[in-house]
Structure 1
Amino acid sequence: MNALLIIVNILVLFALMFGLFMMQKKHVSFSKRVFTALGLGIIFGFIIHLIYGTTHEVTTGSIDWFNIVGYGYVKLLQMVVMPLVFISIVAAFTRLKLTKNIGKISFLVIGILLGTTAISAAVGIGSALGFGLDGIQLNEGDAEKARNSQLEERVAGVENMTLPQQIIELIPSNPFQDLTGARPTSTIAVVIFSVFIGIAYLGVKRKESEHGEFFARIIDTAYSIVMRVVTLILRLTPYGILAIITRVTATSDYEAIAKLGKFVVASYVALIVMFIVHLLLLSFVKLNPRNYVKKGLPTLTFAFTSRTSAGTLPMTIKTQTKDFGVSEGIANFAGSFGLSIGQNGCAGIYPAMLAVMVAPAAGVDPTSLSFILTLILVVAISSFGVAGVGGGATFAALIVLSIMNLPIAIVGLLISVEPLIDMGRTALNVSGAMTAGVLTSKATGEFDQETYQQPNIVEA
């Protein structure tokens, strides 16, 4: 009987996917198809949750099959991340788009990412204090105990990691290994390797122009092929979002979310406030924030549902270049650096809120100016190369709490609402990377104002 019900659920998913396919055939816009998929997934997943619950065999069996579409799509995006980063940055050199401003571009992108992370830490502190969050009130169940035991094993290595060691982790020792994504910092390592290849190309072009031109043609051809692969994958976005959000709504523990509702609300208030800060920064350089929201929403929606900044990278770059008018080189720098440096949600808001919540348990006044300023500085510095490592937000929180000599047990106590909050954090991380790209492109004069002002989203 259960097997039959699972088959029925699979057929329903296929029917919904067919409906999205027909919308595409009728040339319904990409953004409308994405949001239709989001709405259908929420409804379908919630119905499964109401009928069967989160742990029933029908639910788990159905989700297992749905993951072929959802996780399969995410894996396809992750598949193309490294080739896209490498070939796009090298192509920016061969097309003479990064020859003059590479130092300035790197400085601005990293500076904006770290600066906005410092701001996000202040926002997280304000939200935690404003809502009166207190870590002492959290209860530890079996799942939380198991989680904390894992964290205790991990924190030993975290406490010994200094900032210079974090920076060294970004440097590639084996670029071919990093091209496979073997390390958490592989993306940044590939960026650095690509820059060296680009600089070497410029030297060869000056001294041996024939070899330089031949290499440029190879890169140009490879770039066309890679971008075609990206286009083919991005067309699957509505189907991926449908399957992913169905899984999320069907398997969420709503009782646990209700118990920690105050923390969830405070987290999302902080995330929304920081997103508004991004819009204010765009307004400051005389760019219409409405265009940013409208054209960036499909990408932010995917980041929200998938909870993967790396998987969102192809969409992040596409949105910057095709919809916002950011140059290819800057878009790749901002998107790639944004995976491991200065993630506003995971490395900024989250660890800052946790630090405020556990400070009273350690005998520290979280409202004191010295504590707040120290926390903001620690969050900004520790976000350099940490957020993209291992468990992302968890790793960043462990670093901050350890440096501040605060108890780490609170990280494990929030395991039940971690997925829900991580959705918003990931979307904010991606928004921070895109904002850094737009602002850097604007500052370096490599920004296409007409592309940004166009009202419609460019189809994949």
Structure 2
Amino acid sequence: MVENNLLNDLQTNWISLLVSAVIIALLIFLGKKRVSFGNRVLIAMGLGLIAGISFNKLELQFQGVSTIGSIYINLIRMIVIPLVFVLVINSIISITNLAFLRKIGVKTIAWFLGTTGVGAIIGLLVATLFNPGSGIPAETPEDFKAREVPTFFQVILDQLPSNPVADAAGGKVVPILIFALFLAIAIVKVGSKKPEAVEPVRALFASLTEVLHQVVKFVLRFTPYGVYALIAVMGAKYGWETLEPLAMLILVSYIALILHFVFVFGGLVTFVAKVNPLKFLKKAYPTIAVAFTTRSSYATLPVNLEVITKRLRVSPRIASFVAPLGASMNFNGCGGVWPAVVAVFVANVFGIELSLTQYILIVLVSVISSVGVAGVPGPASIATTVVLTAVGLPLEGIAIVAAVESIIDMGRTAVNATGTTVTSLLVANAEGEFDREAFDRDEEDQLELSPV
């Protein structure tokens, strides 16, 4: 019986698997021809979109292709918890001055919250200008069930580590991050009085950091193939037909995300960090591409760390602190732009006119909720639920946007991850931890990886 099921799976998936095998072989060939990592990822995205839409049109099965994408995601998830734990500790124990640690922590969180608030304002302005949702009937899907918003105190309790081993096994990054902070600060405290007592621990974490960087390089070699599979599955699952009824919502969301990306991130990079924005974009591209396709800030974390340190030339101790924290609580796209756009969309669908007070409340609640949902699964849905509840809009509107949320989530996550990259640069520049000469001098792709 099992053999028959396996045979049937192969028979119904063989065309999509064959096409995928040819495309993956092409990507391997391009790697051997020394086509840059970033260009191979870009090519993989394009080929994945074409293949996925073709699978959808021809009504082909694509579970095999989905498995390829899942393998890539699982490989990245495999490394996230140990990477966060080791890098946070290693970065903090290299900072012997706790006042410096507090200073960079305050600056990091301030940039996270500030850019999220600006993202909400941009989302409101663009959505108000284009009025998405006008003319769409307010019909709620029968199977819709609104997500429960955890209380403030429950969110606090959920983020505190009670059993670090169980938290690690459950993939809970925020509790592991907090546990690592406690452990690292304890090492610094003990080391200030008895340096010889913690020297073996320092050496251990320094060694583990080097080993994990090598593991990350192994995993990143699969990025073009994983990106192809993830995009192909997205195209095969939704096709063009799903997009039509909510095309305006998709358009408005991406306009707002792009404006935030260009003017907020571009402005900060240009005028605060005083870096060429086009050069920054070229160097940060791997982070953007992986975030866009994986739709996970945690999955993008290994790539982002490599980009921040190897390509942007930010010091490892700043990158190792800001990047894991950003993956947990920097939601420019999911907590800033998206809830604001959805609020205007829902108001238009249900014929509700928003007041100036409600607009202000949307921005403030977006910023607050972006902190409150840190580490909560599906932060965009929770943040949106909080915002809609705060301004008295029907939660049923979340069900209406659910059909295209996965497509918009690609852009949201890319903005989230890029915001963390930008913040790392800003904090490093302010603290003299940014090697500007190396950044300006580098022209080669620092993420060149040998093909598998």
CA contact (8 A) 2:334 2:416 kept: yes
The match for 2:114 is 115
The match for 1:377 is 364
CA contact (8 A) 2:286 2:307 kept: no
CA contact (8 A) 1:82 1:190 kept: yes
Shift of 1:333: 2.8
- 1:195-235, Cα deviation, whole Å (9 max, x unpaired): 22111112222333222111111112211111111110011
SS for the counterpart of 1:414 is helix
User: Which one-letter code corresponds to 1:128 in the other structure?
Assistant: A
The match for 1:75 is 74
Point out the more displaced range, 96-105 or 123-132. Answer: 96-105
Shift of 1:12: 2.2
| Pairing partner for 1:393 from 352, 355, 380 | 380
| Pairing partner for 1:262 from 209, 223, 248 | 248
Point out the more displaced range, 204-213 or 418-427. Answer: 204-213
The match for 1:131 is 130
Distance change (3 Å), C-alpha of 1:112 and 1:138: farther
CA contact (8 A) 2:358 2:391 kept: no
The match for 2:422 is 435
Q: State the distance in 1 between where 2:109 and 2:26 align.
A: 43
Shift of 1:273: 0.5
SS for the counterpart of 1:325 is coil
Distance change (3 Å), C-alpha of 1:213 and 1:346: same
User: Which one-letter code corresponds to 1:145 in the other structure?
Assistant: E
Where in structure 2 are the equivalents of 1:138-217 lying within 5 Å? 138-140=137-139, 144-146=141-143, 148=144, 150-151=145-146, 154-155=147-148, 158=149, 161-162=151-152, 165-182=154-171, 186-217=172-203
Q: Does 1:87 align with 2:77?
A: no
- 1:346-365, Cα deviation, whole Å (9 max, x unpaired): 11111111222334678863
CA contact (8 A) 2:92 2:101 kept: no
SS for the counterpart of 1:173 is coil
Q: State the distance in 1 between where 2:232 and 2:90 align.
A: 38
The match for 1:312 is 300
Shift of 1:322: 0.9
Count how many residue pairs are aligned between Structure 1 and Structure 2: 438
Q: State the distance in 2 between where 1:75 and 1:255 align.
A: 30
Distance change (3 Å), C-alpha of 1:361 and 1:5: closer
Distance change (3 Å), C-alpha of 1:88 and 1:445: same
Q: State the distance in 1 between where 2:304 and 2:411 align.
A: 16
Point out the more displaced range, 229-238 or 167-176. Answer: 167-176
Distance change (3 Å), C-alpha of 1:191 and 1:206: same
- 1:131-167, Cα deviation, whole Å (9 max, x unpaired): 02236724536xx321x2x21xx33xx1x623x5534
The match for 2:400 is 413
Q: Normalization by structure 2: what TM-score? A: 0.91
The match for 1:55 is none
Q: State the distance in 2 between where 1:69 and 1:136 align.
A: 40
| Pairing partner for 1:289 from 277, 280, 301 | 277
SS for the counterpart of 1:145 is coil
User: Which one-letter code corresponds to 1:229 in the other structure?
Assistant: V
The match for 1:447 is 434
SS for the counterpart of 1:66 is helix
Where in structure 2 are the equivalents of 1:302-341 lying within 5 Å? 302-341=290-329
- 1:52-106, Cα deviation, whole Å (9 max, x unpaired): 2xxxxx32xxx21112221110111111111111111111134347755210111
User: Which one-letter code corresponds to 1:349 in the other structure?
Assistant: V
Point out the more displaced range, 424-433 or 442-451. Answer: 442-451
Shift of 1:112: 0.6
CA contact (8 A) 1:347 1:387 kept: no
Q: State the distance in 2 between where 1:342 and 1:218 align.
A: 30
- 1:402-433, Cα deviation, whole Å (9 max, x unpaired): 12222110000112111111111111111111
Q: Which runs of 5+ in 2 are unaligned?
A: 1-7
Distance change (3 Å), C-alpha of 1:98 and 1:139: farther
The match for 1:365 is 353
User: Which one-letter code corresponds to 2:218 in the other structure?
Assistant: L
Q: State the distance in 1 between where 2:366 and 2:249 align.
A: 20
Q: Does 1:13 align with 2:20?
A: yes
The match for 1:349 is 337
The match for 2:4 is none
Point out the more displaced range, 94-103 or 116-125. Answer: 94-103
Distance change (3 Å), C-alpha of 1:169 and 1:329: farther
Shift of 1:5: 6.0
Distance change (3 Å), C-alpha of 1:329 and 1:364: farther
CA contact (8 A) 1:10 1:65 kept: yes
Q: State the distance in 1 between where 2:35 and 2:185 align.
A: 43
Shift of 1:174: 2.2
Q: State the distance in 1 between where 2:130 and 2:71 align.
A: 39
Q: Which runs of 5+ in 1 are unaligned?
A: 53-57
Instruction: Provide the aligned C-alpha RMSD in A.
Output: 2.2
